[in-house]
Amino acid sequence: MRLRPVHAALLAGLILLLLLVPMPQPGRVLRALLDMGHVPLGAIAVLVAYAFVRRPLVAGVLAIVLLAGVEIIQPLFGRGRSMGDLVAGALGAAG
């Protein structure tokens, strides 16, 4: 099934919303689960990028750049930056 660009744009908006909305301080277990959620978000980011560029390598690079950009601007939305989150997202994008 092909992801249409309009659906990909909606999915990208949902991802950005999830990554930028301020969250309450979770406990250790919930924090670990939320950290693991960056892996599938990285994979979804690749699908979104691929819907627009149709080149797997370029889509992967764009997804990682997008994930890095989100990590950079998260403090503007009351969230913290995390290299671990970026690495997890990149692993999802590569997988």
Terminal CA-CA length for the chain: 19
Whole-angstrom distance, CA of residue 46 vs CA of residue 40: 10
80 phi/psi in degrees, rounded to 5: -95, 155
Closest CA relative to residue 34, chosen from 93, 74, 78, 89: 89
- Express each pLDDT in 51-89 by its tens digit: 889 999 999 999 999 999 989 988 888 888 889 999 999
Sequence-ordered strand ranges (E) for the chain:
none
pTM for the whole structure: 0.74
Instruction: Answer for the pair 70, 13: CB distance below 8 angstroms, yes or no.
Output: no
